[in-house]
Amino acid sequence: MEWVVVFGAGGHAQVLIDILELMGIYKIAGIYDDHPELVGKFIYGYPILGMIGASTVIRQGIIGIGDNDQRASIAKRINEKMPNFEFISAVHPSAIIGKNVTIGPGVAVMAGSVVNPNTRLDAHSVVNTMSSVDHDCHLAPFSSIAPGAHLGGNVRLGERSFIGMGATVIHNIHIGSDTVVGAGATVVSNLPSQVIAYGTPAKVTRRREVREKYL
C-alpha cells in the first residue's frame, strides 16, 4: 500500500477519504487544508498537517475540493511547489467503468456512478454520486458533473465546466469551458464557453466570469 495525502478538509475531501479507504491500495498519511485553525485536528482519524502547498515527504495524493476553479488553482499551486508530485485517481468500488475508459490523474468517480465505453475523463475531473456518463464522452480537465446528472453519448464538456445536480445532457452536445448548467436542466443544444444555462430546455441566462462562484 502506498502513502498518499489529501488536499482539502471539506465534504468533498471526506467523500474521497471514504473512497480511498474502500479501494484498499493506499494509506492516507494526512490532510492539507488552507484553514490554519484546523491544523492539528483530525478527520476520520487522519491529521490535518498544514496549509495546502506546504512541503510534504509524501509525493502522491488527490485534491478534495469540489469547486472546479478552486481545484484548478490548487493543482497549479501544488505543481509549482512540488513539480514531481503525482496525482492519483479515486474510483469507488461500486462505480461501473466500461471498456476503453481513460481515467486521468486526480480524477474522482463516486459511488453508484456509471462511465460507459470509450469515454475519456481528463485530469482532476469529477463524476459524482449516482451520475452517468455514456459512451464516447470527453470530460476536459477540472470539469465535473453533480450527483444524479446524466450525459448522453458523445458529449464534450469543456475545462472547468459544471453540470448541476439532476441535469441531463442529450447525446452529441458540446459545452464550452467555464460554463455552468443549473440543477435539473435539460440540455438539448450546444452551449458556448463562460455562460450560465438552466431550464428545460436549457437556455443561456447570462455570461459567467471565469472563477465566479457557483456552488
Least confidently predicted of 43-57, 120-134, 167-181: 43-57
Fold agreement (2-87, 90-207) = no
pLDDT of residue 53: 73
DSSP 36: G
Q: Where are the domains of the chain?
A: 2-87, 90-207
H/E stretch holding 62 reads strand 60-63
The pLDDT value given to residue 123: 98
Centre a 10 Å sphere on the Cβ of residue 160 and count the other Cβ atoms it contains.
25
Buried b (16+ CB within 10 A) or exposed e, 56-94: bebebbbbbbbbbbbbbbbbebbeeebeebebbbbbbee
Average of per-residue pLDDT values in the chain: 96
Q: How does strand 114-115 pair with strand 144-145?
A: unpaired
Contacts of 151 (CB under 8 A, 6+ apart): 132, 133, 134, 137, 145, 157, 163, 169
Q: What is the pLDDT of residue 2?
A: 94
For residue 175, the tally of other CB atoms under 10 A from its CB is 26
What is the arrangement of strands in the sheet containing 138-139, beginning at the earlier edge strand?
102-103, 120-121, 138-139, 156-157, 174-175
In the chain, alpha helices (H): 11-23, 68-81
For residue 54, what pLDDT is reported? 73
Pick 90-207's CATH classification: 3.30.1340.30, 2.40.30.10, 3.30.1370.160, 2.160.10.10.
2.160.10.10
Predicted confidence at residue 56, as pLDDT, reads 79
pLDDT (tens digit per residue) in 85-132? 999 999 999 999 999 999 999 999 999 999 999 999 999 999 999 999
- Grid look-up 515527504 returns 57
Per DSSP bridges, beta strands 195-198 and 180-181 are parallel
pTM attached to this predicted model: 0.95
- The set of cell numbers assigned to 41 is 485536528
Instruction: Count the neighbouring beta carbons within 10 Å of the beta carbon of residue 164.
Output: 22
- State the pLDDT at residue 78: 93
φ, ψ at 194 (rounded to 5°): 55, 50
* Percent of the chain topping pLDDT 90: 91
In this predicted structure, what is the pLDDT of residue 110?
98
d(CA 89, CA 125): 10
Residue 45 banded pLDDT, cuts 50, 70, 90: very high
pLDDT in tens, 124-172: 999 999 999 999 999 999 999 999 999 999 999 999 999 999 999 999 9
CATH number of 2-87: 3.40.50.20
Nearest CA-CA partner of 165 in 146, 144, 143 = 146
